[in-house]
Structure 1
Amino acid sequence: MLVIASHPVIDYEQWRTVYDGFADEQRAGGVLEEEVLRDIENPNMVYVLHRFTDVAAANAYFASPVLQAGMKDAGVAGPPTIAIVRSAD
């Protein structure tokens, strides 16, 4: 299953540096694959795709105090919008 999280950032380059340094925490939190996308008209709006094995792992990861602190340090400018989805097939 896939989590799509979107949120604005103050400065994309600063955010990306922190995000890239978070790879170990992602793996420890159950992230199997990830991808970052940016809005074409607003490059400080990011969309992060994370693949997990199950909903419980995704919920635990996004509720993690370590992740919350990392988002603050990275300059996330607002609460994320999170969608948990799965293939319709």
Structure 2
Amino acid sequence: MASSYFIHLAQKSFTVLMLLVGPPLIVSLVVGLVIGIFQAATQIQEQTLTFVPKLIAVFLTLLLLSGWMLNLMVDFTGQMFQEMAKVRF
């Protein structure tokens, strides 16, 4: 039972990790792609032009989704503590 529990724990942890990290990464990717296309079209090669908009977009994404992310982490932590109490080695 212990090995199946740890496999289940790893799968659930990975799923929660992807749900938490996915939105900011996707937003950063889209903003970077748009800025890259803009730079290629205008031939402006300023380094801060890619960094600052991505930083602002990721910050706004985290700000907007922070409540959902916190609820997801609290629920996951509560479930893990409940499941750990049931494990018998």
| TM-score (normalised: structure 2) | 0.31
Q: Which of 1 and 2 has greater Rg?
A: 2
Q: Report which of the two has the higher share of strand.
A: 1
Q: Report which of the two has the higher share of helix.
A: 2
